[in-house]
Structure 1
Amino acid sequence: MSTRAGIVVTGTEVLSGRISDQNGPWVSARLLELGVDVAHITVCGDRPDDLTAQLQFLTDQRVDLIVTTGGLGPTADDLTVEAVAEFTGRELRTDPDMRQTIESVIRNWRKYSDPLPASIVAAIDKQALIPVGAEAIPPTGTAPGVAVDATDGIPAILVLPGPPHEVQAMWPSAVATPAVAAAIAGRGAYDQHTVRAYGLSEPDLAVTLRDLEQTVDGFDALEITTCMSGGELEIVSRFEVGAAATYREVEAQLLSRHGDRVYSTDGSTIDAVLAGLFDGRTIGTAESCTGGMVAAALTDRPGSSAYMLGGVVSYANEVKSGVLGVPAELIDELGAVSEPVAAKMAEGARRVLGSDIAVSTTGIAGPGGERPGKPVGTVCFGLAIDGRDTVTVTRVFPGNRATVRTLATSAALHLVERALRD
């Protein structure tokens, strides 16, 4: 790729792990959409020397654009603008228009009347400081962004606030600034496609890709990355538009060899795929070990009320029997973690909720609770669909409690998906 960028996420709270970074991945995805290759994402604390070191590192890597997030607030540890000004050899000056904008925002939020408290005036004065020659980007909160033109030996720098919603709201204005537009002007035209599979391992896919590397002309023009999460394998291919025919051949080969495990070739996630498969039918859930996670996954998507009726979290055996109608003697005989119990749970959910489809989970998420023949990670699933025989399946998942519950949730969704395709 002809245009490269680096991202610096600032914030001691991110560096220490108190909060998870949302800005780096989001900004990276937006840059990739623009045809800009992201070479590095770094995280540093709220220390000017550390930020300067990151800026120097990315400059030495010869990136065309640096994007920073965080450190634009009114407190003493918010020093990104000052550090960028020093790094680029620019003085800081008050931007009168931006100062007025910030003051108006604060007065509107807090309903201040004249005069403003001295502490608020100081905060406004600090956030209105902009490096000489840089362009201020109007804020969505109180912190304006800053776009600094590239100079000899120093790439363009885009400075954005830390709150993710502010970064995302300011992004269109930020990338339209002359400094950023000039920095990414040399970018190419790229396309990106995502294939999603369930039940396909990375080693199996690696064997296929190694074979295609030898048999498909132009394979090297594709940048293919994979990510396994929640039992799902995401295969992302990025390429110049001129390599589209090569990608189509690779995708066709993937479907030929692994089509039974591919559930999406257009990037659609499992909830979106299911929404298209319900076709007027409704679904409900009966959950024990997943504790409502399957229902939550089904309702994450806007418009899910068109097909999701509800769920029963039957964690206790008394609820399995009293609400879902699972015979107590069946639980006593086989245990709650058994396929017959999972079947009765699904059938009971269909009856109680009045749904066309119901899926159930009952298992041992750990760390304790294992039984002879039922190790930690054992989960039984039931699927009841109107007009069909109830089906059951048992899986044993690796990992800790959170991992087992996540994998079980994904498995339940894909059990429904594959049944609806039949």
Structure 2
Amino acid sequence: MSTRAGIVVTGTEVLSGWISDRNGPWVSQRLRETGVEVAHLTVCGDRPDDLLAQLCFLADQKVDLIVTTGGLGPTADDLTVATVAEFSGRDVVRDATMAQTIESVIRNWRKYSDDLPSSIVASIEKQALIPEGAEAIPPTGTAPGVAVPATDELPAVLVLPGPPRELRSMWPAAMQTGPVVRALTDRVPAILQTIRAYGLSEPDLAVSLTEAQKTVDGFDSLEITTCMRGGELEISTQFTENAASAYDALAAFLVERHSDRIYATDGSQIDDLLIAGLAGRTIVTAESCTGGLVAARLTDRAGSSAYMLGGVVSYSNDVKTGAIDVPAEMIAEHGAVSEQVARAMAEGVAAHLHADVAISTTGIAGPGGAVPGKPVGTVCISIAVAGRKTITVTRHFRGDRRQVRELTVDAAMHLAVDALADATR
């Protein structure tokens, strides 16, 4: 039987929508990678009664481990530790070692050499309180984490800080604490595999999965999750080792049905394939409607300077003509949103920046700007590869301005991968 966990993300700012939750999904993914089944992920404000209600709910669901994030700072609304102590039926006690650790962090951070202000001392004392019998986890900011052991009636509780950087830095140490190790002792290791497709809809996949259920032996032992991310469909499957043959059969079935749209069966992202496809070539961008989003995507990874030279945001027609030599008469004849202009943008920026490959985008992201024959969502994308014929396409995307721009970036990445693959044949 697999270990089950629940996650509680605390923070009124998250509950109110002021900021997006970056912790819950990340923790869920890490737990799934270790073979833990995540049963619930909840969000509550900085109110002790609400947090206590969430903890009691998860305990009633018979999870083996609860992970909380947030509410560990020095301020009055940072009450997670006290609430977890109440939930566990434990008093809070001062951890002298942790108090010294926090003081050392603060002195190093603020360069204190004399006595600390009373307000700082008070904040250290507050953050050094942990439930009796719990294990403190050294801070990666100023707030330590806490691992509370399970009892016969209650699950183990892992209390982590709210800032994503601190939480992620603390995670390896947290997973090695005694309470967490004991909670995960009986887990059945799970395997997680991801297939990625472009241009495959969820309804089409649903039909295929219904058919696979009838033909794949052991299909019911697979936990399949699908998620649309822009123009891509992610098919994630979790299973135990004894169901590996069932997964292999499912993957083969899907590839046979959708080979033209499945681009990775090993979890690779399109960015990985583009970088591999460059194979030592350099790349540049010329962007109008995407305003630099393609360049941002290409430079998102460490080491991108090995292949990315730069880009031009040629948003205005004057920049198209003045910076990358798109003929003004071409724009006048065909319009800025045209395959002719997209091709000229790609070839122009490649020539100016001396690159092997260029991606260009020009389109109408909306909400205004539509002209006869070119509604909002019309986008032209061009890929120029040295020594090869430039590839240019027109796409029509649905959605608001943000969605059109994001879908354009996805399409540009996929078109570039296809162009590079053609160049190697």
| Higher deviation after alignment, 257-266 or 50-59 | 257-266
State the SS of the aligned residue for 1:236. Answer: strand
Cα distance per residue 1:129-183 (max 9 Å; x no partner)? 1111111111111111111111132111111111111111111111111111111
Unaligned runs of 5+ residues in structure 1 are none
Contact 1:272 1:301 in 2 (8 A): no
Contact 2:4 2:39 in 1 (8 A): yes
State the SS of the aligned residue for 2:2. Answer: coil
Contact 1:216 1:249 in 2 (8 A): yes
Superposed displacement of residue 379, structure 1: 0.3
| 1:182 maps onto 2:182 in alignment | yes
Instruction: Kindly provide the amino acid, as one letter, of the partner of residue 108 in structure 1.
Output: N
Instruction: Kindly provide the amino acid, as one letter, of the partner of residue 373 in structure 2.
Output: G
Distance of 2:256 and 2:307 partners within structure 1: 32
Aligned to 1:15: 15
Distance of 1:165 and 1:98 partners within structure 2: 20
| 1:163 maps onto 2:130 in alignment | no
Distance of 2:113 and 2:281 partners within structure 1: 57
State the SS of the aligned residue for 2:207. Answer: helix
Cα distance per residue 1:345-376 (max 9 Å; x no partner)? 11111111111111211100011000001000
Contact 1:67 1:158 in 2 (8 A): yes
Aligned to 1:58: 58
Distance of 2:152 and 2:383 partners within structure 1: 64
Instruction: Kindly provide the amino acid, as one letter, of the partner of residue 146 in structure 2.
Output: V
Aligned to 2:379: 379
Superposed displacement of residue 42, structure 1: 0.6
State the SS of the aligned residue for 2:324. Answer: coil
| 1:31 maps onto 2:47 in alignment | no
Cα distance per residue 1:317-352 (max 9 Å; x no partner)? 011111211111111111101111111111111111
State the SS of the aligned residue for 2:141. Answer: coil
Distance of 1:407 and 1:173 partners within structure 2: 39
Superposed displacement of residue 28, structure 1: 0.7
Instruction: Kindly provide the amino acid, as one letter, of the partner of residue 292 in structure 1.
Output: G
Superposed displacement of residue 114, structure 1: 2.8
Distance of 2:92 and 2:269 partners within structure 1: 46
1:275-294 alignment runs, 5 A limit = 275-294=275-294
State the SS of the aligned residue for 1:321. Answer: helix
Contact 1:271 1:301 in 2 (8 A): no
- TM-score (norm: length of structure 1): 0.98
Cα distance per residue 1:105-131 (max 9 Å; x no partner)? 111111112321110111011011111
Instruction: Kindly provide the amino acid, as one letter, of the partner of residue 235 in structure 2.
Output: I
Instruction: Kindly provide the amino acid, as one letter, of the partner of residue 228 in structure 1.
Output: M
| Higher deviation after alignment, 62-71 or 380-389 | 380-389
1:14-413 alignment runs, 5 A limit = 14-413=14-413
Superposed displacement of residue 290, structure 1: 0.5
Instruction: Kindly provide the amino acid, as one letter, of the partner of residue 304 in structure 2.
Output: S
State the SS of the aligned residue for 1:20. Answer: coil
Distance of 1:163 and 1:292 partners within structure 2: 28
Distance of 2:279 and 2:173 partners within structure 1: 40
Instruction: Kindly provide the amino acid, as one letter, of the partner of residue 248 in structure 2.
Output: R
State the SS of the aligned residue for 1:323. Answer: helix
Superposed displacement of residue 391, structure 1: 2.0
Contact 1:230 1:410 in 2 (8 A): yes
State the SS of the aligned residue for 1:39. Answer: strand
Q: Percent identity?
A: 69
Cα distance per residue 1:8-40 (max 9 Å; x no partner)? 011111111111111111111111111100001
State the SS of the aligned residue for 2:238. Answer: strand
Contact 1:358 1:385 in 2 (8 A): yes
Superposed displacement of residue 2, structure 1: 2.1
Superposed displacement of residue 199, structure 1: 1.1
State the SS of the aligned residue for 1:73. Answer: coil
Aligned to 2:418: 418
| CA RMSD across the alignment | 1.0
Q: Which runs of 4+ in 1 moved over 3 A?
A: none
| 1:2 maps onto 2:6 in alignment | no
Distance of 2:396 and 2:66 partners within structure 1: 45
Contact 1:383 1:391 in 2 (8 A): yes
Distance of 2:304 and 2:175 partners within structure 1: 34
Contact 2:391 2:419 in 1 (8 A): no
State the SS of the aligned residue for 2:224. Answer: strand
